[in-house]
Amino acid sequence: MSMEEKQKRGYIMPIGGRESKDVNPSILEKFIELSGGKDAVISVIPTASNLDDTGDIYVDIFRKMGVQKIYNNKITNRIDANNEIFTKQLGESTGIFMTGGNQLLLSTILGGTVVAKMIRKRNSEGVPVAGTSAGAAFIPEHMIVSGDSGLIPRVGSVSMAPGLGLTNKIMIDQHFSQRNRLGRLLTALSYNPYKTGIGVDEDTAAIIDCDGNFYAIGSGALTVVDMSKVEFSSVASTAPGGAISLVGVKIHTLLDGDFYNTKIHEVIRKS
């Protein structure tokens, strides 16, 4: 694969949940824009949800926002996830949207299937992939499944599983400020200190480009945890439940329009 081809990877768009759908739906509008605007073909994947109508709700939302062709990929088991009908629809799509629910449903139903491979392939070909709430958690290589609320990182306070793998540079947590999740993101990052953490608030998203750089959009904040200068971590010597000492962590909060360069670990504020 040439350098030019590598640069073609589509945006990935983790949304913190509860994105505005009626009044000022800036996040969904941005996803539609990145997917081709009025010519977009969007695949909705409601696999994370236990509710029968979740996919239908998003189809209706996108239709009201001007998208004419929308697929509702009702993938509820691993047989569905290996069905060529769904891979064909994903192959035609110019935008892929994963709904909220339970991220373990995404990993256990989609993991290792032709649908998961097709999502990665389409993203590598330039198609944007968005996920809200559980859908956001599933986007990176390492997925946060659950964990304790609170500010302090503690050994064993977070559960993790393999994610979809659209990025290996970033770890994502969602409903971030609303559910007080800094401690569990710090714990997850203490196991993977080469990654950058993004805590995504509700009605907020990170728009991540093919280099792993990103900017904030929406009414809340992105909490960016930079582990690149960590000097010490006690995680290997701390008993289960014990607080983890982390020295040299850098934290930023980004608001709508602020940009973060993951290569040089710098914020460029919206002017």
Q: How confident is the model at residue 201 (pLDDT cuts 50, 70, 90)?
A: very high
pLDDT attached to residue 44: 98
Does the pLDDT value for residue 5 go beyond 90?
no
Does the pLDDT value for residue 1 go beyond 50?
no
**pTM: predicted TM-score of the whole model, two decimal places:** 0.96
Helix (H) / strand (E) element for 162: namely strand 158-162
Which among 133, 157, 190, 233 is annotated as catalytic? 133
pLDDT attached to residue 271: 73
Mean pLDDT value across residues 254-262: 98
Which among 19, 142, 157, 202 is annotated as catalytic? 202
Instruction: Convert the pLDDT of each residue in 141-156 to its tens digit.
Output: 999 999 999 999 999 9
pLDDT attached to residue 7: 52
**Which residue range is the domain that position 40 belongs to?**
8-258
Instruction: Convert the pLDDT of each residue in 28-82 to its tens digit.
Output: 999 999 999 989 999 999 999 999 999 999 999 999 999 999 999 999 999 999 9
Does the pLDDT value for residue 248 go beyond 90?
yes
The answer to whether residue 218 sits within a structural domain is yes
CATH of the domain at 32: 3.40.50.880
The answer to whether residue 83 sits within a structural domain is yes
The answer to whether residue 68 sits within a structural domain is yes
> Domain count of the chain?
1
The answer to whether residue 264 sits within a structural domain is no
**Hunting for tokens 């709904």 — which residue is that?**
99
pLDDT attached to residue 13: 98
The answer to whether residue 254 sits within a structural domain is yes
The answer to whether residue 81 sits within a structural domain is yes
Question: Is position 237 annotated as part of the catalytic site?
Answer: no
**Hunting for tokens 């959009």 — which residue is that?**
217
Question: Is position 175 annotated as part of the catalytic site?
Answer: yes
pLDDT attached to residue 6: 52
Does the pLDDT value for residue 233 go beyond 50?
yes
The answer to whether residue 231 sits within a structural domain is yes
pLDDT attached to residue 197: 98
Question: Strand pairing partners for 71?
Answer: 43
Q: Chain-wide mean pLDDT for the chain?
A: 96
Does the pLDDT value for residue 210 go beyond 60?
yes
Instruction: Convert the pLDDT of each residue in 77-133 to its tens digit.
Output: 999 999 999 999 999 999 999 999 999 999 999 999 999 999 999 999 999 999 999
Collapsed DSSP state (helix, strand, coil) of residue 197: strand
Which among 35, 107, 142, 175 is annotated as catalytic? 175
Give the C-alpha separation, 257 to 255, whole Å: 6
The answer to whether residue 161 sits within a structural domain is yes
Contact, 200 vs 222, CB < 8 A?
yes
pLDDT attached to residue 192: 86
Give the C-alpha separation, 79 to 18, whole Å: 30
